[in-house]
Chain A
Amino acid sequence: MRTVLDFEKPIAELDANIEALKRITAEQGIDKSEEIAALERDRERLLREIFRKLTPWDRTLLARHPQRPYTLDYIRVIFDDFVELHGDRQFGDDGAVIGGMAWLNEKPVMVIGQQKGRDLKERQRRNFGMAKPEGYRKALRLMYLAEKFGRPVITFVDTPAADPGVESESRGISEAIARNLREMMMLKVPIVSVVIGEGGSGGALGIAVADRVLMQEYAIYSVIPPEGCAAILWRDPKRAPEAAEALKLTAQDALRFGVVDEVVAEPLGGAHRDPLAAAQMVKEALLKHLPPLQKLSVGKLRESRYERYRNLGVWTVAAE
């Protein structure tokens, strides 16, 4: 079942009309091409209009859109081949985190990403993209493997949060995330992260410490979900749209704060309207950012990674 967000409804109507005309053309051989072209022009104008005025909450909904491409969708388009590798060698294999060997324009890279599920069954298997400790530990194992053979690491970030359950707590979810933060800081190969959907707080960051962090135009990145923030601030989760505004969770905000290095444009109407084009745009961004990092010495690479994070934050000096 396709999900249509409220602000997408006028577009969905036009989509349906265009489809109907195309069907008439195909089935009855009546030439409707002029009408179709006119409707398509209307649709483009409407899309531009709607997407120019998106609120942070609209963007939150887009980032969580059930039709939005997920990590595996990007992997299939961006890389020539992908050999998925499983397990953390300690406890198990986390379905919410996938990883493996891939080839970006024939050059080997290690790819790691959080994976949401498309249907109910897959959603459960993927735990809604919420990684458990074994997911972060699998990611780290694959990063060490990449480091051992000098391959760069590319991560795709898309999670509402790390798994908050009893099992995850029992196996040290905090330790797993904290260790990744520290180890990714020291990794001797380049890391590029792309926030492709929901950048959900520490759960996202646990695979997102990188030399370059890219973020898609309609992805979000936040310290807390807007609903949780509204519940704490106003004891009312329904005020999430206001919280989304206050949290400054959009890609443009992340760029302004220096948290991300580039906002990767999405096709008009969002990545889900044209997943292939969206993936091509991400691929181009990867091809732009990765090669210069591969030319750096290990020392220089890690020094600039440290500086990148060292300088994040805004504070002030107290007047005595």
Chain B
Amino acid sequence: MQRGWFARHRRSEELNLDEMNDAWVKCNGCQQILFARDFERNLKVCPRCGHHHRLSARERIALLADEETFVERDAEVVSADPLGFPEYVDKLNRGKANSGLPEAIISGTCTLSGIPIVLAVQDFAFMGGSMGSAVGEKVVRAMEYALEQRLPIVICSTSGGARMQEGLLSLMQMAKTCAAAAKLHEAGVPYISVLTDPTMAGVLASYASVGDVVIAEPGALIGFAGQRVAQQAQVIKPPPNFQTAEFQLEHGMVDIVVPRKELKHTLSRVLRFFTGG
């Protein structure tokens, strides 16, 4: 299933000096040095402490979509610079280079354990997964396609929130994506929202929170205010797990926290509830 990962790691087995560094990774959770092959095989979850490291959009699609079933849609929709915002074009170019993607989200169709779905996945490496007009348009098109085809839709979020560089237009994507979510809601088309590290602010306060089922990955940062703002505003001392998936579960905002290795199976069970299979 995760053939891409094995293929990549095989290079590091050649023990080429330049690639020696690729053979080891340091866990962001426990700081232990891990053998990259074990790390990749374990879906970038630390085998020692269970820390879930971020996946790229392509990696997550490989994790969820049945092999060779993903067909991308709306790839041509990309960001413009409507405000002429300082350094935005540079940041977009850097985002493209960092992520290898034209925009901060990939959407398309696939089957998941044989169930046809619409799947959209954000990528944090593209400007922190932020939502500008292009991301909003792609989310809405994915939802509209799900509505038209009456296919369940799964959206995996990872985002710092609305993209500052498109100002008010980014803010309006919150309303726009929820407008499409409203149509799904009324039509009874299932929408499953998967919150991955991090899902914040304008994305959490819009489409990511209105799924029929909301699933989160363990330890994911999930919250409204950025850490800086939240810390300034605190009168009450935040608990140690503040703004984590577990905190949101405890407070009733998330249906299930699912370890990555069980994510696909859990999604297939949830999807079957809706599709009747």
**Hey, which bits of chain A sit against chain B, CB under 8 A?**
162-175, 177-179, 181-183, 185-186, 201-202, 205-206, 209, 221-224, 228-229, 231-233, 246-249, 253-254, 257, 259, 305-306, 309-310, 312-318, 320
Q: Are the C-beta atoms of B205 and A313 separated by less than 8 Å?
A: no
B273 CB to nearest chain A CB (Å): 21
Q: Are the C-beta atoms of A313 and B169 separated by less than 8 Å?
A: yes
Q: Which of B78, B168, B235 contacts A223 (CB 8 A)?
A: B168
Selecting from B2-10, B14-22, B79-87, the interface stretch reads B79-87
Q: Which of B86, B180, B223 contacts A233 (CB 8 A)?
A: B86
Q: Are the C-beta atoms of A315 and B80 separated by less than 8 Å?
A: yes
Q: Are the C-beta atoms of B137 and A315 separated by less than 8 Å?
A: yes
B102 CB to nearest chain A CB (Å): 6
CA distance A221 to B171 in the complex (A): 10
Q: Are the C-beta atoms of A313 and B164 separated by less than 8 Å?
A: no
Contact A166 to B242, CB < 8 A, known contacts A185-B178, A223-B171, A312-B169:
yes
Q: Are the C-beta atoms of A246 and B76 separated by less than 8 Å?
A: no
Q: Which of A166, A221, A229 contacts B236 (CB 8 A)?
A: A166
Q: Are the C-beta atoms of A316 and B79 separated by less than 8 Å?
A: yes
Which of B86, B169, B235, B242 has most chain A Cβ within 10 Å?
Answer: B169
Which A residues are CB-close (under 8 A) to B233?
163-165
Q: Does B183 contact A (CB under 8 A)?
A: yes
CA distance A166 to B235 in the complex (A): 8
What 0/1 readout, one digit per residue, does chain B (171-209) give for beta carbons within 8 Å of chain A? Answer: 111111011111101100000000000000110111111
CA distance A186 to B187 in the complex (A): 12
Question: Beyond the given A170-B251, A181-B178, A309-B175, could you list 15 further A-B residue pairs with CB under 8 A, ordered by the A residue number?
Answer: A164-B233, A174-B209, A177-B209, A178-B205, A181-B179, A205-B174, A221-B168, A223-B164, A231-B228, A253-B168, A314-B166, A315-B80, A315-B134, A316-B79, A316-B134
Which B residues are CB-close (under 8 A) to A177?
205-206, 209
CA distance A22 to B76 in the complex (A): 68
Which of A165, A174, A183, A305 has most chain B Cβ within 10 Å?
Answer: A174
Q: Does B224 contact A (CB under 8 A)?
A: yes
Q: Are the C-beta atoms of A209 and B169 separated by less than 8 Å?
A: no
Q: Does B107 contact A (CB under 8 A)?
A: no
Q: Are the C-beta atoms of A178 and B168 separated by less than 8 Å?
A: no
Q: Does B234 contact A (CB under 8 A)?
A: yes
Which A residues are CB-close (under 8 A) to B210?
178-179, 181-182
CA distance A249 to B243 in the complex (A): 29
Closest to B165 in A: A246
Q: Are the C-beta atoms of A259 and B168 separated by less than 8 Å?
A: yes
Which of A201, A223, A246, A317 has most chain B Cβ within 10 Å?
Answer: A223
Contact A222 to B168, CB < 8 A, known contacts A315-B134, A318-B76:
yes
Which B residues are CB-close (under 8 A) to A309?
172, 175-176, 179
Q: Are the C-beta atoms of A169 and B223 separated by less than 8 Å?
A: yes
Q: Are the C-beta atoms of A164 and B167 separated by less than 8 Å?
A: no
Contact A249 to B225, CB < 8 A, known contacts A175-B209, A306-B183:
no
Q: Are the C-beta atoms of A246 and B80 separated by less than 8 Å?
A: no
What 0/1 readout, one digit per residue, does chain B (65-92) give for beta carbons within 8 Å of chain A? Answer: 0000000000111111011011100000
Q: Are the C-beta atoms of B224 and A185 separated by less than 8 Å?
A: no
A sample of 8 cross-chain residue pairs with beta-carbon separation below 8 angstroms, ordered by A number, consists of A174-B223, A181-B175, A181-B178, A202-B174, A248-B167, A314-B169, A316-B79, A320-B76
CA distance A316 to B233 in the complex (A): 38
CA distance A250 to B92 in the complex (A): 25
Q: Are the C-beta atoms of B224 and A173 separated by less than 8 Å?
A: yes
Which A residues are CB-close (under 8 A) to B204?
174, 178
Closest to A208 in B: B175
CA distance A165 to B232 in the complex (A): 9
Which A residues are CB-close (under 8 A) to B33?
none
Closest 6 CB pairs of A and B: A164-B225, A313-B133, A181-B178, A178-B209, A314-B82, A315-B134
B182 CB to nearest chain A CB (Å): 4
Q: Are the C-beta atoms of B182 and A186 separated by less than 8 Å?
A: yes
Which of A232, A305, A310 has most chain B Cβ within 10 Å?
Answer: A310
Closest to B232 in A: A164
CA distance A171 to B224 in the complex (A): 11
Q: Which of A201, A233, A313, A315 contacts B202 (CB 8 A)?
A: A201
A235 CB to nearest chain B CB (Å): 11
Q: Which of B82, B134, B182 contacts A185 (CB 8 A)?
A: B182
Contact A165 to B236, CB < 8 A, known contacts A174-B224, A249-B167, A315-B80:
yes
Q: Does B257 contact A (CB under 8 A)?
A: no
Which B residues are CB-close (under 8 A) to A257?
82, 168-169, 172
Q: Are the C-beta atoms of A229 and B137 separated by less than 8 Å?
A: no
Q: Which of B77, B224, B229 contacts A315 (CB 8 A)?
A: B77
Q: Does B253 contact A (CB under 8 A)?
A: yes
CA distance A162 to B140 in the complex (A): 25
Which A residues are CB-close (under 8 A) to B247?
169
Q: Does B230 contact A (CB under 8 A)?
A: yes
Which of A166, A175, A313 has most chain B Cβ within 10 Å?
Answer: A313
B225 CB to nearest chain A CB (Å): 3
Which of B168, B174, B251 has most chain A Cβ within 10 Å?
Answer: B168
CA distance A229 to B87 in the complex (A): 13
